[in-house]
Amino acid sequence: MEKLLSILEDLNSDIDYETETKLIDNGLLDSMSILSLVSDLEDAFDVEITPVELVPDNFNSARAMWQMVQRLQEA
């Protein structure tokens, strides 16, 4: 989770990722940020993120992203 938070901090350090739960719904992460994030997550956690995973539920909070990463690692 710390590694994930560090990736998110690099992307935009103005957001409090520990508490924010509407990163997509509130427009804090746009589509370009998502793509950058996908690339970093794939490299850092050795997972493959497909378009099916690109839904707000998976990116609205750091916790949701972490759950997605763990699920993809187990698959």
Under rule CB under 8 A, which residues in 1-60 are in contact with another protein?
27, 30-32, 34-36, 38-39, 42, 49-52, 54-55
Measured from the CB atom, is 20 or 42 closer to another protein?
A: 42
C-beta closer to another protein: residue 18 or 22: 22
> Structure tokens of 9?
């901090």
Q: For the residues of 14-70, what is the DSSP string, one character each? A: TS-TTT---TTTTTSS-HHHHHHHHHHHHHHHT----GGG-SHHHHSSHHHHHHHHH
Site residues, another protein (CB under 8 A)? 27, 30-32, 34-36, 38-39, 42, 49-52, 54-55
